[in-house]
Amino acid sequence: MTTADNPTEHLADQYVASAYANDRAHVFHSWSAQGALKPVVITGGSGSRIWDDRGTTYLDFSSQLVNVNLGHQHPKMIEAIKAQADRLCTIAPTAANDMRSEAARLIAERAPGDLNMVFFTNGGAEAIENAIRLAKGHTGRMKVLSAYRSYHGSTTGAISLTGEARRFDNEPGMPGAIKFFGPYLYRSVFHATTEQEECERALQHLRDVVIGEGADRVAAIVLETVVGTNGILMPPDGYLAGVRSLCDEFGIMMIADEVMAGFGRCGEWFAVNYWGVTPDLITFAKGVNSGYVPLGGVVISQKIADTFRDRVFQGGLTYSGHPLACATAVASINIFETDGIIEHARMLGTDVIGPELRSFADRHASVGEVRGLGVFWAIELVSNQQTRTPADAATMQTVTSACKSRGLWPFIAANRIHVVPPCNTSVDDTRAGLAIIDEVLSLND
């Protein structure tokens, strides 16, 4: 059938032609000054590639917002959406549903310890909101601690817990949101010179904050297992275990935000598994179904779930456990299993991305530090390696443009290039993307 014979394809062409004009006239974009935007019109994608309305193809080294863990248009994911749409598009969360139940079972079985229950949301921010609600309800306390270098979402509670600058214009926010500094040896606020010192001093600082705020008033400590947008900051060995011990000592709930780090991104089902730590609550979204249909949630320990066995949990969402979304989660987890995605992501980190990025650090004067695991890495760019002065915005804009002109769609945050392709990206495509970044970095040397 030709395009002319297919009215659906002809209609799609018509919309593509007006996509940019309609966007500028009617779409209000997040985190943006609207007048400064010149968005690229993306018309399609497949695997680790996307393409625009002008026919330019890009290797997607961003996984969009670090969520398309299985790449674009995975045929088994599309099949799952179609099959569920044919059976049942939606049903209220008060009902039991086969896809909702199966998704919950599969997620709980991959979570550590006794995290046996799942509350479904539409995304990561709502997952954080409900994790906070669960922790407060379980403990009867109101204060929640989170790190300065963090992003947890843009709803009221989530943005209040966010530590980075996007929080500022949304203040005042949720009462009882308290900040602390997490470990970051390269730019240590604790004047540490080794990972062990950074770990010990960061834990002592956290303890001091807990005591200073009244340990019996703190409901939860929320932290990204691996800090995402704010730098792919790896916790030093012993840090997460130390936070777990601190929480146990004072009856505080430990909430691991795995919205970005979970479901293969770190070469594990959940990043906490890498350090052998079991939190009380895990928030997830993004990689659970690669964003094919909006989905997030909270994995809940049995002790917290038991709190609400005979007591009403005062929270809910119209689309909690949406059948279409849960069907894609089921399909996604099965794909991860049958195709060995976890193992592949781990291998990319240890055998391909890690060694290559470390060679960048040795060869390029603009590279201050590289860090990460799995397919979750950051290249921190500096204007001076000795002073560690961060690369400025103009430099990062040049880097972004140079990557795109060479067919690579990058993830740029502050002075960093985040290397975060889909978890199933081939070795050849991974090397091709890294070669482009290598070439771009050479322009700054």
Farthest-apart Cα atoms in the chain, separation: 71
Q: Which two tokens stand for residue 397?
A: 């804009």
Residues 48 and 164 in one domain: no
Q: Identify the domain boundary among 316, 338, 360.
A: 338
Domain, as residue range, for 117: 77-338
Residues 392 and 266 in one domain: no
Nearest alpha-carbon partner for 233 in 125, 364, 348, 370: 370
Q: What is the pLDDT of residues 126-161, one digit of tens each?
A: 999 999 999 999 999 999 999 999 999 999 999 999
Residues 57 and 103 in one domain: no
* Axis-axis angle for helices 239-250, 195-213 (nearest 10): 20
Q: How far apart are CA 49 and CA 422, in angstroms?
A: 10
What is the three-class DSSP state of 183?
Answer: coil
Q: Is residue 406 part of a domain?
A: yes
Nearest alpha-carbon partner for 382 in 370, 372, 373, 374: 370
Q: Is residue 17 part of a domain?
A: no
Q: Which two tokens stand for residue 304?
A: 């917290």
Residues 421 and 370 in one domain: yes
Angle at 116 between CA 345 and CA 280, to 5 degrees: 80
Q: Under a CB-based contact definition with an 8 Å cutoff, are residues 174 and 129 in contact?
A: no
Q: How far apart are CA 151 and CA 419, in angstroms?
A: 18
The per-residue pLDDT for 2 is 36
The per-residue pLDDT for 8 is 53
Residues 47 and 93 in one domain: no
Q: How many residues does the chain have?
A: 445
Q: What is the pLDDT of residues 331-369, one digit of tens each?
A: 999 999 999 999 999 999 999 999 999 999 999 999 999
Residues 190 and 100 in one domain: yes
Across-strand partners of 222?
146, 255
Enclosing H/E stretch for 60: strand 57-60
Residues 174 and 57 in one domain: no
Q: What is the pLDDT of residues 163-196, one digit of tens each?
A: 999 999 999 999 999 999 999 999 999 999 999 9
Residues 323 and 350 in one domain: no
Provide the number of structural domains found in the chain: 2
Residues 370 and 421 in one domain: yes
Q: Is residue 33 part of a domain?
A: no
Q: Is residue 10 part of a domain?
A: no
Ramachandran sector of residue 409 (left: φ over 0; alpha: ψ -120 to 50; beta: rest): beta
Q: Identify the domain boundary among 290, 308, 338.
A: 338
The per-residue pLDDT for 4 is 42
The CA-atom distances, in angstroms, between 236 and each of 264, 295, 351, 400 are 20, 30, 21, 30
Across-strand partners of 256?
223, 282
pLDDT tens digits in sequence order for the chain, 445 residues long: 333 445 555 656 778 889 999 999 999 999 999 999 999 999 999 999 999 999 999 999 999 999 999 999 999 999 999 999 999 999 999 999 999 999 999 999 999 999 999 999 999 999 999 999 999 999 999 999 999 999 999 999 999 999 999 999 999 999 999 999 999 999 999 999 999 999 999 999 999 999 999 999 999 999 999 999 999 999 999 999 999 999 999 999 999 999 999 999 999 999 999 999 999 999 999 999 999 999 999 999 999 999 999 999 999 999 999 999 999 999 999 999 999 999 999 999 999 999 999 999 999 999 999 999 999 999 999 999 999 999 999 999 999 999 999 999 999 999 999 999 999 999 999 999 999 999 999 997 7
The per-residue pLDDT for 74 is 98
How would you write 347-414 as a 3-class SS string? HHHHHHHHHHHHHHHHHCCCEEEEEEECCEEEEEEEEECCCCEECCHHHHHHHHHHHHHCCEECEEEC
Q: How far apart are CA 143 and CA 84, in angstroms?
A: 41
Question: How many other CB atoms are there within 10 angstroms of residue 416's CB atom?
Answer: 25
Q: Under a CB-based contact definition with an 8 Å cutoff, are residues 230 and 380 in contact?
A: no
Residues 228 and 136 in one domain: yes
Residues 83 and 58 in one domain: no
Residue type, 375: V
Residues 205 and 237 in one domain: yes
Q: Identify the domain boundary among 320, 338, 356.
A: 338
Does 172 sit behind a cis peptide bond, omega within 30 degrees of 0 on the bond before it? yes
| pTM flag (> 0.85) | yes
Q: Is residue 269 part of a domain?
A: yes
- Alpha helix (H) residue ranges in 27-181: 63-66, 75-87, 98-110, 124-139, 156-161
Strands 367-373 and 376-384: antiparallel
DSSP state of 27: -
Q: What is the CATH number of the domain that holds 219?
A: 3.40.640.10
Q: Under a CB-based contact definition with an 8 Å cutoff, are residues 147 and 182 in contact?
A: yes
